[in-house]
Each structure stands twice: as C-alpha cells, then as structure tokens.
C-alpha cells in the first residue's frame, strides 16, 4: 500500500510538472511579458530620458549579468516582502471590521494597530509599483541585450571582419531606441539577404 501511494505521488508530481511547464510557456510567460510591457509604459510616461537610460543599459551587453542577477533576486524578495505587508494591512482592516476588543485581542493585535497607524495602503501601492516597474525595466534590458547578441552571432559568418567589428562597436554605443532599432534593421537586412532565420523581438 505504501509503495502504491509513493508511486502515485511520483506520477502526480510528474504530471503536475508537465502541465505546469505547459501552463508556464503558453499562459504565464506571455502574461508576464504583456504585464512587463504595460508596466514599462506606466513607468516611462513619455519620459525620454528614462526610456533612453534603458537602451544605455542594453549597450552594456552581458558585462553586468552577474550583478543584475543578484539585483533581480533582491527585487523579487523586496516585492514579496511588500506584498506581505499589503496582506498584513488587509488583515488588520478585516480584523477591525469584526470589531474585536483591543483588550481581549492581546498584544499581537495592538502591535498590528500601531504598525497600521504609521503606514497606509497608498504607500504600499507606491512601493509595489516602483519595484515592479524597475523589475520590468531591467528584465527588458536583459532580453533586448541578449537578442542583439544573438542576431549578431547569427549573421557573423556571413560578413567580413570589419563589418563584425562595426556592428559590435555600434551596439556598445547605443544611446536610445532609434539607435537600437536602426542596428537591428541592418542586421535583419543582412540575415534576409543570406536567407538566415532570426528570432522576432518586440522593441519597446
């Protein structure tokens, strides 16, 4: 009986893993990509300098990957922490609505009340929005930099050494969206001329 239960558990775990992978690839990942794009629109709000700073980071390529990975982990932890505080805030509000007597609720509730007196939902929402916008910004910068490296690698065997160096130099000098798009278009032209496949990438 124990073996059957254990086998059933393993089978269930495998099935959930397969289903989870499909859900991630077909549902969660596109949804996150869409949400990141919308957050970037909210974060920039037409600010050209902020948008250009994204492409300056893209020009740095892979050099800051290790530091950026640690940064993204920190951002994720901070987002979860702020999310926990938001949950705590709603817990306080819910408890208050039930009209629990402070004298009978004990020291924990009184501590929560003191915490609630210093913080409010607008502050939580501001912090969450700030963290998610910056997370979306940095994630996009990494994806855009990786895409640029990938397409340059694809066309590299079909151009001379001088052209390869020029492409690499221009990618390191990107200052804004127009520089990035122009460089991608030239690389796509080379790929099309030589009948090469290049992955599609939506430029923000």
What number is the average pLDDT over the span 68-86? 61
What confidence tens digit (pLDDT) does each residue in 94-105 have? 665 554 554 555
pLDDT for the residue 200: 87
Q: Is pLDDT of 113 > 70?
A: no
Better-predicted residue by pLDDT, 34 or 118: 34
Contact 152, 167 (CB under 8 A): yes
Question: Looking at residue 155, what is its pLDDT?
Answer: 94
Q: What pLDDT, on a 0 to 100 scale, did the predictor assign at position 44? A: 61
Q: Return the pLDDT at 24.
A: 46
Q: Which residue has better confidence, 13 or 137?
A: 137
By the 10 Å C-beta count (0-12 exposed, 13-18 middle, 19+ buried), 177 is classed as middle
Q: Categorize the per-residue pLDDT at 1 as very low, low, confident or very high, splitting at 50, 70 and 90.
A: very low
Band (pLDDT 50/70/90 cuts) for residue 18 is: very low
What is the mean predicted confidence (pLDDT) over 134-156? 86
What's the pLDDT score for residue 30?
61
pLDDT surpassing 70 at residue 7: no
Most confident of 30-39, 52-61, 77-86, 186-195: 186-195
pLDDT of residue 54: 79
Predicted TM-score (pTM) of the model is 0.61
Instruction: Give the pLDDT of residue 42.
Output: 61
Reported as a single tens digit per residue, the pLDDT across 28-75 is 556 556 666 666 666 666 567 777 777 888 887 655 554 555 555 566
């Amino acid at each position: 009986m124990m073996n059957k239960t254990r086998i059933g558990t393993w089978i269930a775990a495998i099935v959930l893993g397969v289903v989870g992978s499909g859900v991630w690839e077909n549902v969660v990942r596109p949804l996150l990509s869409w949400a990141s794009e919308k957050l970037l629109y909210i974060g920039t709000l037409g600010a050209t300098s902020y948008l250009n700073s994204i492409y300056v980071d893209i020009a740095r390529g892979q050099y800051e990957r290790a530091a950026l990975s640690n940064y993204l982990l920190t951002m994720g932890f901070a987002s979860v922490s702020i999310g926990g505080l938001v949950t705590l805030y709603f817990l306080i509000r819910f408890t208050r609505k039930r009209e629990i007597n402070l004298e009978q609720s004990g020291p924990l509730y009184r501590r929560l009340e003191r915490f609630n007196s210093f913080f409010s939902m607008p502050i939580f929402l501001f912090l969450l929005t700030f963290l998610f916008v910056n997370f979306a910004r940095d994630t996009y910068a990494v994806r855009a930099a990786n895409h640029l490296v990938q397409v340059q690698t694809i066309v590299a065997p079909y151009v001379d050494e001088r052209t390869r160096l020029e492409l690499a130099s221009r990618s390191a000098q990107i200052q804004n969206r127009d520089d990035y798009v122009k460089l991608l278009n030239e690389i796509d032209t080379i790929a099309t001329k030589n009948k090469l496949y290049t992955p599609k990438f939506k430029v923000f």
